[in-house]
Amino acid sequence: MTMPRRSLCLFAAALASAASAQVQWTSLSPANAPPPRGGHRVVDAGPLGAVLFGGQNASTYYGDTWNWTGTDWVQASPIASPSNRAHFVMCYDPRNNNVVLFSGWTGGSYPADTWLYDGQTWTRAAGTTPPGRDWAGMAYDPISQRVILYGGHDWQRSTAGQPNYDDTWAWDGQAWTQLTPINVPPHRWGHAMALDQGLGVIVMHGGTAGNDTWLWTGADWLQVPTANAPPARTRPGAAHDPLRQRLVLWGGSVGGAAASDVWEFDGNDWTQRTPSGTAPAVSDTSGIFDGGLGAIVNFGGALVPNRSSTSNATDAYGPVSPATARTFGSGCAGSAGVPAIDASRLAWLGGSYEVTVRSTPPSTSLWFVVGGSNTRTTTGLSLPFPLGVVGMPGCDLLIDPEISLGRMANASGEASFRLGIPALPVLLGVSIYAQSLVVSPGANVLGVITSDASEHVFGGR
């Protein structure tokens, strides 16, 4: 959808207004799926793909490994595997490029073991471990580059009148170390723990301790006071959406029933969402962000808290109108090479529209031109338009230059602009284009070169 001229003016000048909810649940239909279960874990293991292990359906415990391809589930055949179990913790360790699994419940014991998956097989790690437990929380900490484990449950401790765990442990790829943070969250189990890639820290929420929110800062726990919070729950799903920059929490056990509500954390506060579609009402569930789908994918979960009835549905949660961005066309060379547009920041309603140009001559003058078309200018020129006629051979005008924004490149040859985007639903799906014209003396007769161009499509998050 090309931006009309009046919409472009509206974009530049309008005041923000409230936008309706723009998220949805979509039921996926893979040809194959693991058997129904809850208490399993699915992790995004980077180059190893999305990995699912274990879980429980009634009295059956699983020890199978599956991969999610983005369209289907494929069962793996590792040479060795952990014993059948549920309610363990599992996460990806990018520093060591393996999946780390710890403990869980086998139906009769809490194995105090650590397993590593390299995409081919599982290997049991040697050494001392934390005490065995279930319903703990674990996530990778990019600050210390270690896997962090917190809390958990042991029914034998409970029956003996002892509290749930409130200990913090770190796995460095070789060994576990118990940490002694200054601040210790109240003991709990069934809490959510996930890495918020935007904040660069682990977020922990809820569990049996209530509905509090904590951040792991690399060496200590920091409680975050929030104006709003999800109702207290245990065993929800949680994953970070890096495109929308939100930590998403869904489902869990609330008041003895499987919940279907969805909450999002933006680093400061929680917001309840009202997605369209049919939300899975599950606890003991797990999901990941799927970059190909641009959405969070949930698999399975318990339909009732005791896991006597479970699901093997695959559902996706994401924006109805996603923001997208791309670059296109080619620039022309100057003294520092060919200027290149960076369009990696997505344009969401209520957020900002930002474009950067790199590889310009240091500290030079330049202009960003912004417009609503990449096929024809307001004056009727077809695009791309060759600029050799004005002394810029090999350079092309790629977009309609309706607005010009002057900037000065820094010493590294970079410059940016940022404009606020009104939260107006009429802008959903609208495209806006940008290109840079850069002063580069001696590059051609005019002494000006061009970059490639970008297209941003406004989305609602």
Of the chain, the percentage scoring pLDDT greater than 70 comes to 95
CA-based nearest residue to 240, from 297, 291, 197: 197
What is residue 202's predicted lDDT score, i.e. its pLDDT?
98
What is residue 158's predicted lDDT score, i.e. its pLDDT?
85
What is residue 5's predicted lDDT score, i.e. its pLDDT?
47
Q: CB 49: neighbour CB atoms within 10 A?
A: 15
* pLDDT-based confidence at residue 357 (cuts at 50, 70, 90): very high
pLDDT tens, 16-26?
334 345 899 99
Residue-wise DSSP of 69-98: -SS-EEE---SS-PPS-BS-EEEEETTTTE
Q: Return the domain boundaries, the chain.
A: 5-16+323-457, 23-319
- Asked if 287 and 237 count as a contact pair (C-beta separation under 8 A), the reply is yes
pLDDT tens, 50-89?
999 999 999 999 999 999 999 999 999 999 999 999 999 9
State the average pLDDT over residues 190-199: 97
What is residue 10's predicted lDDT score, i.e. its pLDDT?
44
What is residue 230's predicted lDDT score, i.e. its pLDDT?
98
State the average pLDDT over residues 408-419: 98
> How far is residue 16 from each of residues 4, 6, 108, 340, 424, measured CA to CA in Å?
19, 16, 57, 31, 7
What is residue 306's predicted lDDT score, i.e. its pLDDT?
80
Cα dihedral across residues 157, 162, 166, 170: positive or negative: negative
What is residue 304's predicted lDDT score, i.e. its pLDDT?
87
pLDDT tens, 203-234?
999 999 999 999 999 999 999 999 999 999 99
**192 contacts: CB under 8 Å, gap ≥ 6:** 137, 203, 204, 205, 206, 207, 236, 237, 238, 249, 252
What is residue 7's predicted lDDT score, i.e. its pLDDT?
44
Q: Regarding the domain delimited by 5-16+323-457, which CATH topology (the fold level of the hierarchy) does it fall under?
A: S-adenosyl-L-methionine-dependent methyltransferases (2.20.130)
State the average pLDDT over residues 127-140: 97
CATH of segment(s) 23-319: 2.120.10.80
Mean pLDDT value across the chain = 95
